[in-house]
Amino acid sequence: MIKRMFIFIMLALMAFIFFNLASNYTESDSLSKLGQYYVEKGPQEIGAPNLVTAVVVTYRGLDTLGEVTVLFISAAGVGLLLRRSRRKQDEQTKKSDITHKAASEIVETATELLLPMIILFGIYVFMNGHLSPGGGFQGGAIIASGTMFLLLALPESHLSRLMIAVTESLSGFSYVVVGVLGVIWAGGFLDNRFMELGTYGDLFSAGAIPLIYTFVGLKVGFELSAVLDRFRQEESGSA
Amino acid sequence: MTTIPVLTLLTIVLCAGILIGGLLAVLLDSMVSAVISAGLASLFASVVYVVLAAPDVAMTEASIGSGLTTMIFLYAIRKTQNNISTDKAEDEE
């Protein structure tokens, strides 16, 4: 009974908060002062046609570094939590060879056709982050979806732990190094202007943004792939 | 009578889809179906983001929200259910 009451009070509070939010909402027909600044000065200062990228990578670059760190910590946490039982599982695998249930031919054939395209699209998305929608996170997630397909279609396949760890650490490290280079040669941490801005709208323009997004994309892609791989190994080991 | 713009109508329909997906995720008994409907809610949300002119967010939502999260949940469910069934088997022995 008390539990029911508690739930009811919580719901009422939630309703109160959201009603206040919704009733005070008015559609603004002009940008805020900060938005105005980004729209007016962004293209000249950063040189990126995609303003979202200009804000995410440069104006609010530190937040992006924080997001990458959060993702890194969660991936590390998954690795740590699923580690102990993996040792047990290795012994089991040695004792009896576990046969994985093979995927259907349709899934296998589709993966063979689509996987290169998915990976390529992921790379395209993070390389063109400053020109078109998308960026490091999105590109990395698309690459990880490709890995997901691979793991689904070929359950026997093994991802190299070493390769994942090395790529992930190197790209994370390089991301911070690029940020520090911005402090040395330009206005501040993660400032993209230590490289030439180039022609507005070109693939290699907007200073260090393509570089930063490549590192972020690689890091996110390999991290999420590693998380998927960990979960799969756990699952197939106990099956 | 004022006519409703197409985009508004589309947004309302898609938001209804999100709500239905979310409700199904809570109400369905089967874990797997619940996870799939949560992924469906994410998919609808990503289309809403496109309609509301936020393609960057939409890409993240589509790939992470409806793709990877669903997959990780499915792996986790399979893993835990395996454990439960083996525990039960051991108890019966």
> How many domains are contained in chain A?
1
What percentage of chain A exceeds 90 in pLDDT? 7
Residues in contact with A128: Cβ distance below 8 Å, sequence separation at least 6, in sequence order: A134, A203
Tell whether A145 lies on the interface with B, counting CB pairs under 8 A.
yes
Q: Tell me the three-class secondary structure of chain A, residue by residue.
A: CHHHHHHHHHHHHHHHHHHHHHHCCCCCCCCCHHHHHHHHHHHHHHCCCCHHHHHHHHHCHHHHHHHHHHHHHHHHHHHHHCCHHHHHHHHHHHHCCCCCCCCCHHHHHHHHHHHHHHHHHHHHHHHCCCCCCCCHHHHHHHHHHHHHHHHHHCCCCCCCHHHHHHHHHHHHHHHHHHHHHHHHHCCCCCCHHHCCCCCCCCCCCCCCHHHHHHHHHHHHHHHHHHHHHHHHHHHHHHC
Contacts of A92 (CB under 8 A, 6+ apart): A98, A237
Query: Rounded to a whole number, what is the distance in Å from the CA of A147 to chain B's nearest CA?
Result: 10
Per the structure, the count of domains in chain B is 1
Report the C-alpha gap between A115 and A225 in whole angstroms.
Answer: 14
Residue B60 to residue A141, Cβ atoms within 8 A: yes
In a domain, B1, yes or no: no
Burial (0-12, 13-18, 19+ Cβ within 10 Å), A16: exposed
- Please tell me if residue A57 touches chain B, with a CB cutoff of 8 Å: no
DSSP label at B30?
A: S
Low-confidence spans in chain B with pLDDT less than 70: 1-2, 82-93
pLDDT 10s digits, A3-49: 889 999 999 999 999 888 888 888 777 778 888 888 887 777 777 77
pLDDT at residue A91 in the model: 57
Q: What is the pLDDT of residues A184-198, one digit of tens each?
A: 777 777 777 777 677
B interface with A, Cβ–Cβ below 8 Å: 55-56, 58-60, 63-64, 67-68, 71-72, 75-76, 78-79, 82-83, 86
More confident residue, A9 or A232: A9
Nearest CA distance, B55 vs chain A (angstrom): 6
Structural domain for B46, as ranges:
7-87
Q: Is residue B79 part of a domain?
A: yes
Determine the pLDDT at residue A95. 46
What per-residue confidence (pLDDT) applies to A86?
53
The ipTM value here is 0.75
In chain B, which residue's Cα lies nearest the Cα of A239? Answer: B82
Contact: B63, A235; criterion CB under 8 Å: no
User: In the numeric block, which tokens belong to residue A199?
Assistant: 């022609």
The domain containing residue A18 runs over which residues? Answer: 2-238
pTM for this prediction: 0.78
Angstrom distances, CA of residue A127 to CA of A58, A139, A210, B62: 16, 8, 6, 19
pLDDT tens-digit series, residues A125-184: 888 877 888 788 888 888 888 888 888 888 777 777 788 888 888 888 888 888 888 777
Inter-chain touch B67–A231, beta carbons under 8 Å: no
Local confidence band at A226 (pLDDT 50, 70, 90 cut-offs): confident
**For residue A62, is pLDDT > 80?**
yes
Residue of B nearest to A152 (CA): B71
Q: Is residue B93 part of a domain?
A: no
B25, part of any domain: yes
- Contact across the interface for A133 and B67, Cβ inside 8 Å: no
Distance from CA of A235 to the nearest CA of B (A): 5
**Residue A235 or A74, more confident:** A74
Q: In angstroms, rounded to a whole number, what is the distance separating the alpha carbons of residues A211 and A223?
A: 18
Report pLDDT for B43: 92
Confirm whether B72 is domain-assigned: yes
Mean per-residue pLDDT of chain A? 80
DSSP-derived letter for residue B52 is T
Confidence at residue B92, expressed as pLDDT on a 0 to 100 scale: 47
CB contacts < 8 Å between A and B, how many? 57
3-state secondary structure of B53: coil
User: Which of B92, B89, B91, B42 lies closest to B67, judged by CA?
Assistant: B42
Q: What's the number of CA atoms in the CB half-sphere (13 Å) around residue B25?
A: 16
Judge whether residue A96 has pLDDT over 50: no
The chain B residue lying nearest A129, using CA atoms, is B56
Q: Is residue B92 part of a domain?
A: no
The per-residue pLDDT for A120 is 92
Chain B residue with minimal CA distance to A144? B68
